[in-house]
Structure 1
Amino acid sequence: MRNVIVLSLLLLLNIHHVTSAPKGVTASLRAKWSMTPFLLETRYSPLHIMLHSDLQPGSQEDGNEKFWQFVDTVKELTVYKQGESVRSYYNLIIKKAGQFLTDLQVNLLKFAMSLRSYSPAVHASQQIASDEPPPEACPAFVSIHGQHSCSTKDIKKLLKAAAGRPIPHLYKNDHTYPGVNTTEVPVVILYAEIGTKKFTLFHKVLSERAAEGTLVYVLRHFVVNPKPQKMLLSGYAVELAIKSTEYKAVDDTKVKDSLVNAEDDNTDEVQGFVFGTLKKSHPELQENLVELRKHLLESTNDMVPLKVWEMQDLSVQAAARILSVPKYDALKLMRDLSQNFPSKARSLTRVAVKQEMRKEIEENQKSLGETVGVHPGDGELFINGLHIDLDVHNPFSILDILRGEARVLEGLHNLGIKGEHQGKLLRLPVNAVDDSYALDIRDPAIMWINDIENDPPYHSWPTGVQELLRATFPGVIRQIRRNFFNLVLFLDPVREESVELVKLAELFYKHKIPLRIGFVFVVNTEDEIDGASDAGVGFYRLLNYIADEYDLSQALISMVSLYNKVDVGETLSVDTISDYMKRKFPKTDAERILSIESEYDEKKVPLSPEEMDPEELETIILQRIMDTTNAFQRAVFMGQLTEGSDVVDYLMEQANVVPRMNPLILSTDRKYLDFTAKPVVDEWEDTTMFSYYDSRDKTAVVAKRMKYFTNNDEDGMSAVTMWIIGDFEEISGRKLLLNALKHMPWSASGVIDNPSGKPSEDNSVLYRAIWASLLTQKNKAAAEFVQQLVKDESSQLLQQGTKIKDLLMQGMDVDAFEKKFNTLEVDFIRSQQLFCRDVLKLSPGQGAVISNGRILGPFGEQEEFTVEDFQLLQKITLSGSAEKVKDKVKVMGLKPKHASDLVMKVDALLTAAPKGEVRRDVQFIKDSHSVLHLSPREHEVFYDVVAIVDPLTREAQKMSPLLIVLSQVVNVRLQVFMNCRAKLSEMPLKSFYRFVLESDVNFLANDTVSPGPVARFLDLPESPSSLSI
């Protein structure tokens, strides 16, 4: 047989080779670049990615530090190449990487290595080195602002002249040695192969100089003599399609029964047996020979045509066959049946199917159709509830998903959350960080010029919210007597832009646009400012007078009239205001209205430098009205907004509405602490030991040793936990803590000292008193004492020589407090200072707030975090996932202190994770007869994988090998539902298929690395047919 091979692989790589034999075809995919060293790929692999997460503050710095520790560990590793086999050398690399990775991450590293997914990155670095170009016969070299050298002796000379040459461009994947941060020193790029002696020589010199701050040391990989061998790649599929007309359904009304054929045909040969001769020689064995012939026909690889009635149950018969074997062989059988279906179809026709299985499949299909939208025959894959579309995703993107999920799964596991609780927390709908916040406009500071619902000009408009659903021409703004749309303008009256904004507001008002218009005047709020000398204050007081004595519409008309008297390019003046008052209100007492004692001095806010463009505002407002109309229509249709609803209240109750604006709190650029480490010890009294912890361990120790102010002596569970950081011997730190304690009824508050200088007993009296009260007093007593202690009066008394014991309050345990205070040393304060410096990146004395792991700060010298800011932060934290996490943790039955800690840690973990699509909770009504179950290994992190697949579909051809490899790479709890189609009328698959994917690098019997994965088609049909790849 000669197979016709057609190559149509949608990859930007060349085909290595395709060979054919009478019963086999082998195909492989060869890269265009040379084989790259495993050690260098490890640098780009999960080791690099996982150590360089940007989810937590300091993680990049900490990860970079760990990477260089890995480099120091393997800097001379290539010497082992000489005496070790390739397999042993590879295992050594994995072992070295394992010092910095968890077991799960090591498995993902092996999977990445098998895919060679980071080989292109290594090759890209090699190409960059080639573009320098490298000096001849140079195994490693440095590039210093364009000048090259192969010797460490030339570095000093090249550095001297580097300042006169341009700084080289650096790339995202470049590794910079963690030296002294500076931009005023030369950049030295080392091109070398990690693990070689030449690299070690350069690395020693450059790392020492970088630590001194005399240069910036950047590493790029360079192999002086790359292997010419091209590597075979993985992660692709090969299909051997059948073009023969023999493989088709046969109308059973036109073909005799096979049993009749078997009896009548005395000359046919099947797999070497001539049944005509056998029947003549052994007439007494006629029935046995017929059965033998049928068995041989069904076991042969030949593609025997099936009758229509034989095909109807093939899908469910395949499922029954798969579920009948031991469960750990089931996926392999599914792969064999789906990928070799043309030659396996005949054998499936004899499989009996239980009625229970048919009924269960139908019930599950009905349920899945209603809940997930999956129909019979569809193929779907879910990993931890995330939908994996195999038409979109490939092994490389799935590796990225596995790696992203690993951090959350391991975090939950390390926090002690396992089993069903893990799945429930993982599927919580964590709100994505959004910057489209709205301000609550139910504030008396706003001067509303009109009211759509009550003002006479709008009485003829309909009032029903159902009017929103009435059909109109596109672009038409519906005139409904409801305050659906509200515009608030914050104006500084004397700014030139205010003229156009007021005129724009008048335009909307005049043309009866259904827009409620309000003003907030941004003017000088100092009490001693006189309206007769400050035009903004005078304007503002005049308008208040007109609004109070006349009406708001008259105030708007007056505003426009005043601004009409301002020439283009000029601003409002005191003289303009005085002249207007004399002309329009000649009998009024201007002094009474404009003076410092004016009664018309409410509703003003401090000046802000932000501006808006009046020319664009009209278009923006009208577009916003049109966009918001859609949201209102949806709310009316869903019954959320009814005729009895107060529209403004409905608007202000939306999740994105906040009571005040604070860019620091509302920023989308958020950093979180990582609480998931499990340090061996939790020591912070020993500052030296604490200094050796990495960032995650420091955070874990501080979290474990933290004590909290709470709102009652029952120590109830808190959804929000805040850490207050500052120098509490300074006014700014004490004020920050006082504001936090005033907000305390809604959260638990801990304190961390970040003193401006070196802590000592003399300069830490107040903070040691705070900590002593936390350690010895009941919640209410400790909170009341500290609130009194951080006030300015108490601070002044302490400075005047008053003792702490003289400030103690009634109801406190004085003896316990004094004993703890007098024995409390300052080492733990030094450890807290190290935490602020190394983890939070704060300078000594700087303040910050941490809310459920989210860091806000450092605060500027004049920046105040008020009680209202704490309330806003509380609202934003709760709206993320804190409230939902609290509800899930509450059912775990933990003690309140432990439960609050767990809420804080889980909330930080989930909120910091990248936001993707919504996780689906796929459930099966019954799973006894139609679902394959594979249980995870106990006491290990596991992925929850749910597959829905018809075993005789293209999805099964892809999914079965993927699930096999997935179960080899990570610990999985796997459920595979056989989503079979009933009453097939044609052959479900008409091709042989191979998915080339391996879980780890393969080696040959002689311990050399395998040339690479290949797609093998063995035992192909012997019948003449046309096949194409």
Structure 2
Amino acid sequence: MFNTTRLKVILSIFLVCLIQNSYQSDSIKEKHISAIVSAKWTETPFLLETGEFIFRNYPDVFWKFAKDVSTETNHFSSVDSFNNQTYFEELLKKAAEYISPMQFDLLKLSLSIRTFSPAIEMTRKLAEDALKLTNQDCFTFVDIHGQVTCNVEEILTLIESANMDKKPFTYQFDKHFDFKVKQKQLEQVSVVLYAQIGTQDFLKFHERIIELASKNSKYAIDYILRNNYLPSKDDSEKVALSGYGVELDIKSTEYKAKDDTKYLIESTQELAPLKAWQMQDLSIQAAQRIIDSEPTEALSLLEDLSQNYPIRARPLSKIQVRKDLRKSLKKISSTFESTLNLEPGSGGLYLNGLDMSLDTVDIFSLSSVLKKEAKLLESLSQTGLNVDQVKDLIYLDISSKATDYGVDLRDSSIQWLNDLEKDKKYSYWSRNVHDILRPTYPGMLRSIAKNFFNLVFVIDPAKDASKSLLKTAESFYVNDIPIRIGFVFVTNKNDDGNSDPSVALFRAHNYIKEKSNPIKALAFITDVYAKSPKGQDLTSDLVIKEFKRRFPKEKNLEDIFGPDSDYDEGRKLTMEYFNKIGLKSIPKVFINGFPLSDTEIEQDAFEESVITKIMHLTSEIQMPVYKGEINDRTNIMDWLMSKDVIMPRLNPRVLSQDREYLTINELSDKHKNYVKNLKYLTESDKNDMHLLTLWLVCDPDTERGRQLLYDAINYHESSKMSTKLAFILVKTTDDSTQNSDLIKKVIDYSVNNLNPRQAYKLIKQVIREKNFNDLKSGKKTLDQIEIKKVNEI
């Protein structure tokens, strides 16, 4: 699914053709073709892959697992352990001691598709690169700010002499050791250990680093573990890749060249066309064949029928379908069509009700979703719910909470670079909307002269962050990518282009677009980028200098760049549109109105993000085309912008789907005990069941914290729901004055000794800004603000 500039994954493809040349008149033997897709690296240890899996799911458990498999008496300590069957089974048996049964099944899946093999090979390469810069030659070593040692006794010396300006770059996959006890606010030294768990060397270095971290009073240690292992010297032991398909196209002349004409004749006879009446029930007959098979063979049979359907069609056509199956399939088909929009002939994949798009799903994304669902199921189970209750919760339709919202792109302030439906450039492309249904290779875009995909850049053209985005936009246009491209150039309020580069670029762009065309106007901007210093914003002088070079006959530059420019049309409208759609920062990129994230528009990821997004949006367009909701006369832009999820403004307070959840089941025993003993304020003690539980976490010594307290109490007082409220008070300042804990004491007293109404009144009086300042400064005491009984605090 890669296009233009793509990350190239080099795969070694071995095709083993087992051709049987014997001919028998009574039967035709099948020609078997097997394909193995192998990586460029050799086998990675299953032990390290298991460790990666455990760390991603149970970070705390991983360190115990790593230590246990590295003990002297454990056979996993052998570096030369091969990935053989016996070793694999022993490893699974050991891993089962540390993870849940559900996670154990996912571990087996992960190992079978080698999910973490690339990550392990990457860390081995990092270890290799780290050693290249030194004279060291060892398997287990530490890297401390660029200094490497293979001697465990030298670690302390390197920590004490660490250059703080050379801290290592860390990665998301790094394993940071959690020391639990918070280290003092000291300068942090990063100690990166490259080792293989399951070895004595790992254990020796691991324990030494932990010992130094607990004793060191000068530095705080950030202990990072990265996998390292000795690769096999046998180049034939490559990692077999999963999740990749191999398509083999062989012409008939190539068969004939191998003198296998007989097989071709026989194959032709075997695949003779079926009559129309023989084909009408093939899918139902295939279902009947699978249902009638043994349960242990059902999946294998399904795979065989799916992959060899043409060959299996004739015998399938002879199967008698039972009436009860026809009736059942008819009912199911009707249900699928009404609830899931799945019509006969289409397919779908659903996991616990989640729609897994068949156009984009692969074994790795499926595995990732399985892990998330397993974690959710385990959390629900740990709350004490039974199986039926968990199922009821899983079946709840919460899809509406995952809605993505877009912004309306039908605005005159957007300067469109092209129009696929009108430009001569695309006149030779098909104008039939049904071509969106045409099969293509994964990642290939269909060249259709319809504005199905609209890419809009909201940018300040003078900023460095805009350079790569506009260059990519130009590349999309030049390479005939079927995307309509538009720009919203956000400028400053300054009216003088001689001093403001964004205003200068805006007016130069308008001038060239008017005198020539939008393409040359964009080319001018990218030419200015090419002559600007890397990593710096543009200047007005640079813009005007390039303009003079391109248009030497234009003498009156003041009419173009000055305060009373004739080429300022649309700038105010652009700013109005920018303010209307509710953006807080730029650059932003929208595709069909939906914003791409800041990560997706980074230089290295942008192109891939656009293609991936188009793949996703394509499936949303195909179904309406198939149903006839979109035809050749449909105004595509109006249809796209008429969706319920397209808004005139993106208000993050209203539309944001980002939520942070606290998973209670993952708290430590100490924190669980704290939560268990929280004191709550409730309106009534008669009802133990509360629909809503509120935890307010704040620092009452800060203005924001007091405002949160006030708002929470007001909400709790006015709420018609059965709610309970608890206060979790934290300290974010180093205030050590005499009255620094006064508010906390008042709240503690209120919760433990007063009824809710009295507690609310007391707390609200104390946190009023004037009362708070007077109490804090000592100008007043609690008695002086006329609050009864608070002198007992």
Q: Give the equivalent residue in structure 1 for 2:257.
A: none
- 1:430 has 2:401 as partner: yes
Q: How does 1:184-195 map to 2 (within 5 A)?
A: 184-195=187-198
Q: Give the equivalent residue in structure 2 for 1:155.
A: 155
Counterpart secondary structure, 1:723 = strand
Q: How does 1:719-868 map to 2 (within 5 A)?
A: 721-726=693-698, 736-744=708-716, 745-746=718-719, 748-754=724-730, 770=747, 774=751, 779-780=756-757, 782-784=759-761, 786-787=763-764, 807=788
Q: 1:336 to 1:798 in 2, by over 3 A?
A: farther
Inter-partner Cα distance in structure 1 for 2:577 and 2:764:
50
Q: 1:241 to 1:306 in 2, by over 3 A?
A: farther
Q: 1:207 to 1:231 in 2, by over 3 A?
A: same
Q: What's the offset of the Cα at 1:751? A: 1.0
Q: Give the equivalent residue in structure 2 for 1:43.
A: 51
Deviations 1:781-810 (A, max 9, x none): 55445545766879969985869999369x
Q: Please, which of 306, 311, 317 is the counterpart of residue 338 of structure 1? A: 306
Q: Give the equivalent residue in structure 2 for 1:708.
A: 680
Inter-partner Cα distance in structure 2 for 1:732 and 1:340:
67
- 1:217 has 2:232 as partner: no
Deviations 1:65-87 (A, max 9, x none): 55444433434379414799955
Inter-partner Cα distance in structure 1 for 2:640 and 2:121:
55
Pick the structure with greater CA Rg. 1
Counterpart secondary structure, 2:401 = coil
Q: 1:364 to 1:11 in 2, by over 3 A?
A: farther
- 1:74 has 2:55 as partner: no
Q: Is the 8 A contact 2:71 2:199 kept in 1?
A: yes
Q: Is the 8 A contact 1:32 1:230 kept in 2?
A: yes
Q: Is the 8 A contact 1:33 1:230 kept in 2?
A: yes
Q: How does 1:457-476 map to 2 (within 5 A)?
A: none
Q: Is the 8 A contact 2:164 2:189 kept in 1?
A: no
Q: How does 1:411-810 map to 2 (within 5 A)?
A: 411-416=379-384, 418-425=389-396, 427-431=398-402, 617-622=572-577, 656=651, 671-677=660-666, 694=668, 697=669, 700-710=672-682, 721-726=693-698, 736-744=708-716, 745-746=718-719, 748-754=724-730, 770=747, 774=751, 779-780=756-757, 782-784=759-761, 786-787=763-764, 807=788
Q: Please, which of 373, 391, 406 is the counterpart of residue 405 of structure 1? A: 373
Q: 1:634 to 1:774 in 2, by over 3 A?
A: farther
Counterpart secondary structure, 2:400 = coil
Counterpart secondary structure, 2:120 = helix
Q: Is the 8 A contact 1:177 1:210 kept in 2?
A: no
Q: How does 1:81-480 map to 2 (within 5 A)?
A: 81=76, 89-91=87-89, 93-94=91-92, 97-98=95-96, 101-133=99-131, 138-159=138-159, 161-163=161-163, 166-178=166-178, 180=183, 184-211=187-214, 212=216, 213=219, 215-224=221-230, 226=232, 228=234, 229-237=237-245, 244=264, 246-247=266-267, 309-325=277-293, 329-341=297-309, 344-416=312-384, 418-425=389-396, 427-431=398-402
Q: 1:668 to 1:384 in 2, by over 3 A?
A: closer
For residue 680 of structure 2, what is the amino acid of its counterpart?
Answer: Y
Counterpart secondary structure, 2:226 = strand
Inter-partner Cα distance in structure 1 for 2:580 and 2:268:
61
Inter-partner Cα distance in structure 2 for 1:436 and 1:741:
36
Q: What's the offset of the Cα at 1:742? A: 2.5
Q: What's the offset of the Cα at 1:161? A: 4.8
For residue 313 of structure 1, what is the amino acid of its counterpart?
Answer: D
Q: What's the offset of the Cα at 1:348? A: 2.8
Counterpart secondary structure, 1:722 = strand
Q: Is the 8 A contact 2:353 2:395 kept in 1?
A: no
Q: Is the 8 A contact 1:140 1:224 kept in 2?
A: no
Q: What are structure 2's unaligned runs of at least 5 residues?
A: 1-7, 21-28, 253-263, 409-492, 504-561, 582-591, 594-634
Counterpart secondary structure, 1:382 = strand
For residue 752 of structure 1, what is the amino acid of its counterpart?
Answer: I
Q: What's the offset of the Cα at 1:12? A: 3.7
Q: 1:733 to 1:231 in 2, by over 3 A?
A: closer
TM-score relative to the length of structure 2: 0.55
Deviations 1:688-711 (A, max 9, x none): xxxxx62xx555444444343345
Q: 1:314 to 1:156 in 2, by over 3 A?
A: closer
Q: 1:106 to 1:181 in 2, by over 3 A?
A: farther
For residue 754 of structure 1, what is the amino acid of its counterpart?
Answer: V
Q: Is the 8 A contact 1:178 1:210 kept in 2?
A: no
In the alignment of these two chains, the number of paired residues is: 540
Q: Give the equivalent residue in structure 2 for 1:602.
A: none
Q: Is the 8 A contact 2:195 2:227 kept in 1?
A: yes
Q: Is the 8 A contact 1:30 1:231 kept in 2?
A: yes
Q: What's the offset of the Cα at 1:27? A: 4.3
Counterpart secondary structure, 2:396 = helix
Q: What's the offset of the Cα at 1:370? A: 4.4
Q: 1:380 to 1:768 in 2, by over 3 A?
A: same
Q: What are structure 1's unaligned runs of at least 5 residues?
A: 1-9, 52-62, 250-301, 438-494, 505-567, 570-612, 641-649, 660-665, 678-692, 810-817, 823-1029
TM-score relative to the length of structure 1: 0.43
Counterpart secondary structure, 1:126 = helix
Q: Is the 8 A contact 1:144 1:162 kept in 2?
A: yes
Inter-partner Cα distance in structure 2 for 1:633 and 1:309:
44
Q: What's the offset of the Cα at 1:121? A: 1.3
Q: Identity percentage over the alignment?
A: 29
Q: 1:182 to 1:338 in 2, by over 3 A?
A: same
Inter-partner Cα distance in structure 2 for 1:430 and 1:224:
48
Q: What's the offset of the Cα at 1:124? A: 1.4
Inter-partner Cα distance in structure 2 for 1:496 and 1:726:
42
Inter-partner Cα distance in structure 2 for 1:405 and 1:36:
28
Q: What's the offset of the Cα at 1:127? A: 1.6
Inter-partner Cα distance in structure 2 for 1:125 and 1:749:
48
Q: What's the offset of the Cα at 1:38? A: 1.4
Q: Please, which of 15, 31, 38 is the counterpart of residue 39 of structure 2? A: 31
Counterpart secondary structure, 1:132 = helix
Counterpart secondary structure, 2:130 = coil
For residue 423 of structure 1, what is the amino acid of its counterpart?
Answer: I
Inter-partner Cα distance in structure 2 for 1:15 and 1:704:
58
Inter-partner Cα distance in structure 2 for 1:164 and 1:768:
42
- 1:20 has 2:18 as partner: yes
Deviations 1:895-953 (A, max 9, x none): xxxxxxxxxxxxxxxxxxxxxxxxxxxxxxxxxxxxxxxxxxxxxxxxxxxxxxxxxxx
CA RMSD of aligned residues (A): 5.5
Q: What's the offset of the Cα at 1:416? A: 5.0
Inter-partner Cα distance in structure 2 for 1:379 and 1:303:
26
Inter-partner Cα distance in structure 2 for 1:706 and 1:803:
31
Inter-partner Cα distance in structure 2 for 1:121 and 1:639:
41
Q: What's the offset of the Cα at 1:137? A: 5.4
Q: Is the 8 A contact 2:10 2:39 kept in 1?
A: no
For residue 709 of structure 1, what is the amino acid of its counterpart?
Answer: L
- For structure 1, which segment, 302-311 or 389-398, has the greater mean C-alpha deviation from structure 2 after superposition? 302-311
